[in-house]
Amino acid sequence: MKNHENKDKEDELPLKESILMIQDFLKYLFLRWYLLIPAIFIGGYLGYYYNKDKPVMYNASTTFVLENTRSTVSGVAAILGVGGTSTGQGLFEGESLFELYRSRKLIQEVLLSPLPSDSSQLLVQRLVRINEDLTERVENNSRVSKFLEDTDNLLLPSQQSLRFRDSIMNVFVRHVRGKYLNIEKLNKEANIIVVEIESEDEEFSKAFNDKIVKDVNALYIQMKSGKTSENVAILEHKVDSVRALLSSAIYSAAITKDNTPNLNPTRQSQREAPLQQSRLVLESNRAMLVELQRNLETAKIAMSRESPLIEVLDEATYPLDKKLPNIRLWMFVGAFLAFIIVVGAILLFYSYRMIMRS
């Protein structure tokens, strides 16, 4: 029994010592208020100074629904190679579509497109003007600055300057991809996707957002229905060719009659042979045209079934949403971090003093 009581007392001693040590440290910390208060003010000022010159950011956002269709097409369409059964996940579903939006090629094409309000100015040239870091880097390099001023250098570079153009564009592409572009999927089941561009310039944000959504979605549809669209184009070309031959055969029959007016009954072969030949060509072309038109309609149905449905729910409109720098939040963060740093330093000094005493 006594051993049990002694053990309880031994357990209470470390707890009591810990409480006394904490109280002693808090008293020690409170007496160092002359270090804590200036640190809090300095941290708050640093948070303010860090954000006071940050620009207003303009957010352009487009929300759309992506639905991949799956169907089975048979008959003539299957013979033509425009049908089949599609199963499993579609091309570019999920994260793969995000990577398509982040691809260097597509971002570069958008940056090299003109501004809607000024066709003489490219988006990449506007980007350099609105971003202070890029402006400073370009101005410090006279060769890059001179190259960017000439639109022809960017759009139609020579073989010698192509490598230099691409190296410059790679910097801008990485900047846009890392700081301006954001793609999210809001609803996995419904495939609701949001594409956002947030930059220092309202016109740049909207123009870039509109262009990249248009280009990526068009490329997506083209690649999803590429084979069937090629077959439709081939069939349309054949229909036009046969229709032209049919018109030619009709005119040929009429011309044959016109060339033999008041024909001698004993010379009927001069009219009937060419006329029958024209009618034969006419009938065969008519039958071919009917069959081709039937196949064309079948191919168009197959293409409509294979093409994904992209329905825009919300698109960027003026005025764009503004994102102001949250100076108060950063002042609080700066003050809090400064307080933690000073408390940590005081704790280290207090621990060192206690060790030296023992």
Do 124 and 202 belong to one domain? yes
Q: Residue 295 domain-assigned?
A: yes
Query: pLDDT value at position 261?
Result: 54
Query: pLDDT value at position 22?
Result: 78
Give, for all 358 residues of the chain, the pLDDT tens digit: 545 555 554 555 477 777 777 787 778 778 888 888 888 888 887 877 777 767 888 999 999 887 755 444 443 444 444 444 444 444 445 466 788 889 999 999 999 999 998 888 999 999 999 998 899 889 899 899 999 988 888 898 888 889 999 999 999 999 999 999 999 887 666 678 899 999 999 999 999 999 999 998 888 777 776 666 667 777 777 777 777 776 776 666 565 555 555 544 544 444 455 656 666 666 777 777 777 777 777 767 766 666 666 778 888 888 898 887 777 777 788 888 888 888 888 888 878 777 777 6
Q: Residue 199 domain-assigned?
A: yes
**Residue 163 belongs to domain with CATH number:** 3.30.1890
Q: Residue 83 domain-assigned?
A: no
Do 165 and 188 belong to one domain? yes
Q: Residue 315 domain-assigned?
A: yes
Judge if the upstream peptide bond of residue 157 is cis by omega within 30 degrees of 0. Answer: no
Do 212 and 156 belong to one domain? yes
Range of the domain at 130: 57-66+96-225+308-323
Query: pLDDT value at position 74?
Result: 41
Query: pLDDT value at position 313?
Result: 85
Q: Residue 78 domain-assigned?
A: no
Number of domains in the chain: 3
Do 238 and 272 belong to one domain? yes
Q: Residue 76 domain-assigned?
A: no
Do 105 and 169 belong to one domain? yes
Do 171 and 191 belong to one domain? yes
pTM to 2 decimals?
A: 0.63
Query: pLDDT value at position 24?
Result: 79
Helices (H), the chain: 2-30, 33-51, 76-80, 95-101, 104-111, 123-130, 132-139, 142-149, 151-155, 162-175, 202-224, 226-259, 269-306, 327-357
Q: Residue 84 domain-assigned?
A: no
Q: d(Cα 338, Cα 346) in Å, to the nearest integer?
A: 12
Q: Residue 112 domain-assigned?
A: yes
